[in-house]
Amino acid sequence: SFRPLVFSGVQPTGNLHLGNYLGAIRRFVALQDSYDCIYCVVDLHSLTAQLVYPDLKDQIRAITAAYLAAGIDPKKHIVFNQSQVMQHAELAWIFNCVARIGWMNRMTQFKDKAGKDRENASLGLLAYPSLMAADILVYRATHVPVGEDQKQHLELTRDIAQKFNNDFSDRIAALGLGVEMKMGDEVVNGFFPITEPVIGGPAARIMSLRDGSKKMSKSDPSDLSRINLTDDADAISKKIKKAKTDPEALPSEIAGLAGRPEAENLVGIYAGLSDMTKEAVLKEFGGQQFSTFKPALADLAVDRLAPIASEMRRTLGDRAYIDAVLKDGGERAGVLAEATMKNVRDIIGL
């Protein structure tokens, strides 16, 4: 069977926020103890929205600094930026020829990001999930921690792996490159693993502080909608104080959060930051007003995020160190990626 391996990535576009931290980076940190991990700054993905970012290199350094400040160990694991390892793009092209246009057209993120003027979106934006599949499968990663917003893309990664394994099953067998894996109760054989999502916990999807129906996002024009990882204590407190809520007290049971998305979101953030379940948070705060809960949440957020922000600033002060981490990670990732691509070229006869 495949060696357990984790891959995930974050785009170098804009400020990291609490959603990225609770939904992604904090999970990356937790998985380090049980898996070998590859954490990438996916700079090629950022080109799908616009081709030129004047400060792209600094954005890459900022994400890297966040990874390191949050506690990812670049010696035990691999931290690098995608464009250093061109095998990602090579495999993405092959996957563009494996995947079907209909699969891409169904992606809700494409519909959201392309908006009404779909004909004018970049072809890269449509093919984004192909590159994401390549990021994962070029290392034959078995597990991917992502927020719920990426679940559909990971499904597509699984579809691509499965179609490749089926289409080339004879070649894979002839070359002796098949690996056995369990799929439910069945044991199947393939070159690529059918990668599992690692989703869950109380903070898989953090919503905007201004609108409980939208996810917290870098691209939201309202800065009050999100807590940035680099916000200072005053900014964090102010944003939580201004967060949209309803006039009711907090319920003492989960069922009482139904139809109250803003309340549920704040309870989820508290649970995520404190490593408690939502049930336990409600046990503690049930019956209390937001005027009591919000200051407690603000204190907790400052307590958890301030050390990361200050460590990020410290790390960003040493550009040579960050660049050395990325270069070393890129070299190690490149060796692994090339080993896979050599097999892929053999399989398809290139």
Catalytic residue from among 218, 238, 244, 294: 218
Least separation in angstroms between residue 215's CB and Na ion is: 8
Q: Does 130 bind ligand ADP (CB under 6 A)?
A: no
Give the pair of three-digit tokens for residue 33.
């103890």
- Is 113 assigned a catalytic role? yes
Which of 98, 102, 133 minimizes the C-alpha distance to 347?
A: 98
List all residues 6 or more positions away from 164 whose beta carbon is below 8 Å from its beta carbon.
95, 98, 190, 191, 192
Give the pair of three-digit tokens for residue 344.
């892929």
Contact letters for ligand ADP, residues 140-169 (x by CB under 6 A): ------xx-xx-------------------
Asked whether residue 223 is marked as a ligand-binding residue, the answer is no
Residue (144 or 344) nearer to ligand ADP, CB: 144
Q: Does 23 bind ligand ADP (CB under 6 A)?
A: yes
The answer to whether 44 and 15 are in contact (CB under 8 A) is no
Q: Does 217 bind ligand ADP (CB under 6 A)?
A: yes
Least separation in angstroms between residue 280's CB and ligand ADP is: 20
Asked whether residue 12 is marked as a ligand-binding residue, the answer is yes
Asked whether residue 162 is marked as a ligand-binding residue, the answer is no
DSSP character for 197?
Answer: E
What residue number has its CB nearest to ligand ADP? 23
The answer to whether 161 and 94 are in contact (CB under 8 A) is no
Catalytic residue from among 113, 151, 163, 238: 113
Give the pair of three-digit tokens for residue 175.
């070359």
Under rule CB under 6 A, how many of the chain's residues touch ligand ADP? 17
Q: d(Cα 326, Cα 82) in Å, to the nearest integer? A: 10
The answer to whether 5 and 188 are in contact (CB under 8 A) is no
Give the pair of three-digit tokens for residue 30.
């937790």
- Given candidates 24, 41, 78, 281, which one binds ligand ADP under the rule CB under 6 A? 24
Q: d(Cα 149, Cα 155) in Å, to the nearest integer? A: 12
Summarize as ranges the residues that interact with ligand ADP (CB under 6 A): 10-11, 19-20, 23-24, 146-147, 149-150, 205-206, 215-219
Binding residues for L-tryptophan are 135
Where in the sequence numbering do the catalytic residues fall?
A: 113, 215, 218
